Amino acid sequence: MQTMAIIGAQWGDEGKGKITDLLAEKCDLVVRYQGGHNAGHTIWVNGQKTVLHVIPSGVLHPHCLSVIGHGVVLEPENFLNELAKIKGVTNVTPENLKLSSTATVITSYHKLLDAAREAQGPEKIGTTGKGIGPAYEDKVSRRAIKVKDLLDKDTLVRRLSNGYAEKAILFKHLYQIEIPAIEQEVERLYRYGESLKDYVVDTFSLIDDQLSKGKRVLYEGAQGILLDVDYGTYPYVTSSSTAASGIYNGAGIPGKKLEEVIGVAKAYTTRVGEGPFPTELFDDIGALIQKTGNEFGATTGRKRRCGWLDIPLLRYSVKCSQLTSIALTKLDILSSVPELKICYAYEVNGKVVDCAYPGINLYNAKPLYKTFKPFTDDFTSGKPSAELETYISFLQESLGIPVGIYAYGPDRNQIVFRQSYS
């Protein structure tokens, strides 16, 4: 297998970082293709925790080339801080980390605008406040700054001038915020450009070249399919293409097809921020899962909303990204839950619906549950108990694809392979 993708199958935070780190062992390149530092991908190796935001989760493997593709939105200050931090953990150099020259830059006003809009409403999205949406807006309106523009002051001034006056007026009169003077922002961005220039390359050509040499590429998604700007629960979504289609736009798979698309799913469901969530739990079991699962966002520290596993949503994710297998995480958290349920379908206006197609109003979807016997596995034998196997098999049969991996703890080794992925 030469090309593989790891994509969140729910609303993010499914454990993509852990699964990417695990499978990076078998790959030559790990490529991020969308999103930005709204992502928080956690990896634990031998008791040491690493949280990555834009740097790909293969970075702990010295043989792996880490690539940040052109579909990513990059906040230079945050990137440089993350880089400095990871250099304390592993050897990262311009030889093994590459940043696309055409990735979009997140500027000061993107972050300010994100915060101002969230404060003003009326429809709050519950964003991470990192400026992601406004940066993608500028990209689509052709006013964005690309990473390569940071490397030439004249170009930077010219590109930044597009719409700067308009933004200054908007901020001043609508939000009563002064944005930095353009000269100040140019100086700031140019300084960061100087610090990151050694990492900047044409990543499309790089990936093309590596694929033609037979190298194995792993594409690491951020967020999850249900947060995709087109496929997700709009408007409560992020502003990028988080589904498999985003790989073609945001990095490229020159001349190749995706051979394996792994959807990462928690054994239950979580969501951060606003938006519909049919199986959300408001009772003691929800509180137990939230507490035992330590369900707090890796980027913002916000409490994650928790609920039962939702098959209609996962069926939809399988269709949206043509998932070929599932990596099921956090089964250990369910082993302390006395009663288990999976939502196998919804009742919507008196009809049973088994796939969460966008035409369905999720606020109006009543989950129909199947109850499962609890399992109390300690997982170390690598063989699931009959109860755990029943839980996993129900998911496999409902989705029509295998659970190729399941995880029972945050560490790299707390994993069982049911498929080889070689």
Give the residue numbers annotated as catalytic, written as ranges: 13, 41
Residue 227 within binding range of ligand IMO, rule CB under 6 A: yes
Task: Please tell me the distance from the alpha carbon of residue 165 to that of residue 163, in angstroms, as a whole number.
Answer: 6
Cβ atoms < 10 Å from Cβ of 378: 9
3-state secondary structure of 401: coil
Residue 10 DSSP symbol: S
Least distance (Å) from ligand GDP to the CB of residue 382? Answer: 14
Residue with tokens 């001043």: 172
Residue 38 within binding range of ligand IMO, rule CB under 6 A: yes
Residue 12 within binding range of ligand IMO, rule CB under 6 A: yes
Residue 39 within binding range of ligand IMO, rule CB under 6 A: yes
* Interacting span for ligand GDP (CB under 6 A) from 21-29, 36-44, 122-130, 395-403: 36-44
Per-position DSSP letters for 260-304, written without gaps between them: EEEEEEESSEEE-SSS--TTB--SHHHHHHHHHTT-B-TTT-PBP
Q: Which C-beta is closer to ligand IMO: that of 106 or that of 200? A: 106
3-state secondary structure of 373: coil
Q: Which C-beta is closer to ligand IMO: that of 66 or that of 398? A: 66
Helices (H) and strands (E) in the chain, counts: 13, 20
Residue 220 within binding range of Mg ion, rule CB under 5 A: no
**Strand ranges, E, within 62-216:** 65-68, 73-74, 97-100, 104-105, 200-201
Residue 407 within binding range of ligand GDP, rule CB under 6 A: yes
* Interacting span for Mg ion (CB under 5 A) from 12-20, 92-100, 155-163, 380-388: 12-20
Q: Which C-beta is closer to Mg ion: that of 299 or that of 398? A: 299
Task: Please tell me the distance from the alpha carbon of residue 20 to that of residue 45, in angstroms, as a whole number.
Answer: 13
Residue 227 within binding range of Mg ion, rule CB under 5 A: no
The footprint of ligand IMO (CB under 6 A) covers 8, 11-13, 38-41, 125-128, 130, 132-133, 222-224, 227, 236, 238-239, 272-273, 298
Q: Can you give the binding site for ligand GDP, defined by CB under 6 A?
A: 8, 12-18, 40-42, 44, 298, 329-330, 332-333, 407-410
